[in-house]
Amino acid sequence: MLEFSILFPSILGGLTTGAVYALIALGLTLIYGVLHIINFAHGAALMVALYAVYLLKSHFGIDPYLALPIVVPGMFALGYALQRGVINRASHGKDENILLVTLGISIVLENLALMAFKSDTRTIETAYTLSTVQIGPAFIALPKLVAFGGALVASTLLLLIVHRTDLGRAIRAVAKEKQGARLMGIDVDHVYAMSFGIGLGCLGAAACFLLPAYYVNPQVGSGFVLVAFTIVVLGGMGSFAGALLGGLLIGVVESLCGLFLGESLGQIGIFAIFIAVLLFRPQGLFGARA
């Protein structure tokens, strides 16, 4: 069981999945780091993005990778509108309200999808869906490899935005000290909405990379949400390095657990980690003590 030829593909598979997980988690941790809210709608938003990519392929024949310039800005706009129009207005500044509002949004989105698409699982067919690449003793599906590369590129872009642009500076200012930032003339509401938009934009990118190797149905969001939260909590709320490393780590853990415990029980490994981190080290690996 512990043969290299069995472990290696599992770990490799875990890393490629983990990279996409990391991209999802990056959006979530950005939203938490800036707005200090736990976005319960993150999974549902990913589901929306996946359906968008699916529909673009099935109705317009647009390849998922080529759909990036459509889906990412689209998700960004959705995020901006949601934050500015709904969440901001509903929260009245209280954290518990935001919790409930994002939960409500996730319920609405998931079930609208259920109504529109029924609970069928859908996949797409592309020229490269079935191609594989050989790395050592492992055969990795090409889409997964592209996903790995794409997720890393997207993450790098995100980090560049946050650390090298004016917007990024504003975001970091608001994250650190909202009132001070406001006094400096930064439009905090706008920055909030931009951050939320960027967070959802990450989901758009993740969806484009995910769909060729994966599938979509209305429940897919909730599957990702807890994994994303586990990563963010493990890595440390608001820490980008944590989200990246955490994503890769969780991807590998999930893969290995699936190998040893079987598909369905494999997920339990993740939740066990989640609960353990919440209880024993809530600040995660890189986060600050709440």
Partner 1 sequence: MRRDLPFIVFFTAMMVETIGVLDSGVWINFVAMALFTTLLAQAWNLLGGFGGQFSFGHALFFGCGAYTQAILQLSGGLGAWPALALSVALAAAVGAAVGALSFRYGLRGSYFALASLAFAEVFRIGALSLDITGGGVGLMLPLQEGFSRLQFGSRKGYALVLLAFVAAALVVSSWLRHSRFGAQLQAVRDNEDAARAVGVDPFTVKLRASMMSAAFMGAAGALYLQMFQYIDPAIAFGPAISVEALVGAIVGGMGTLWGPVLGAVVLHLLAEGTRNLFGQLPGLNMVIYGAVLVLIVTFLPRGLAGLGRSALVAFAAWRERRHG
Binding of partner 1 by 97 (CB under 8 A): yes
Interacting residue with partner 1 among 18, 64, 218, 258 (CB under 8 A): 218
Interacting residue with partner 1 among 7, 55, 77, 86 (CB under 8 A): 86
Binding map of partner 1 across residues 254-273, x = CB under 8 A, - = no contact: --------x-xx-xx--xx-
Q: Which two tokens stand for residue 111?
A: 């079930």
Interacting residue with partner 1 among 23, 24, 34, 38 (CB under 8 A): 38
Burial class (CB in 10 A: 0-12, 13-18, 19+), 203: buried
Nearer to partner 1, 69 or 85 (CB): 85
Binding of partner 1 by 92 (CB under 8 A): yes
Contacts with partner 1 in 108-167 (CB under 8 A)?
108, 110-115, 118-119
Nearer to partner 1, 132 or 222 (CB): 222
Nearer to partner 1, 19 or 37 (CB): 37
Nearer to partner 1, 19 or 87 (CB): 87
Interacting residue with partner 1 among 100, 152, 188, 256 (CB under 8 A): 100
Q: How far is the CB of 86 from partner 1 (least distance, A)?
A: 7
Interacting residue with partner 1 among 10, 106, 217, 239 (CB under 8 A): 106
DSSP structure string for the chain: ---HHHHHHHHHHHHHHHHHHHHHHHHHHHHHHHH----TTHHHHHHHHHHHHHHHHHHH---TTTTHHHHHHHHHHHHHHIIIIIIHHHHTT-HHHHHHHHHHHHHHHHHHHHHHHTT--B----TTTT-EEEETTEEEEHHHHHHHHHHHHHHHHHHHHHHHSHHHHHHHHHHH-HHHHHHTT--HHHHHHHHHHHHHHHHHHHHHHHGGGS-B-TTHHHHHHHHHHHHHHHH-TT-HHHHHHHHHHHHHHHHHHHHHH-HHHHHHHHHHHHHHHHHH-TTTTTPPP-
Nearer to partner 1, 106 or 255 (CB): 106
Interacting residue with partner 1 among 6, 69, 89, 135 (CB under 8 A): 89
CA 14 to CA 254: how far, in whole Å? 7
Contact range with partner 1 by CB under 8 A, out of 103-111, 143-151, 182-190, 191-199? 103-111
Which residues contact partner 1 (rule: CB under 8 A)?
Answer: 37-38, 40, 86, 89-90, 92, 95-97, 99-101, 103-108, 110-115, 118-119, 218, 222, 226, 229-230, 233, 262, 264-265, 267-268, 271-272, 274-275, 278-280, 282, 290
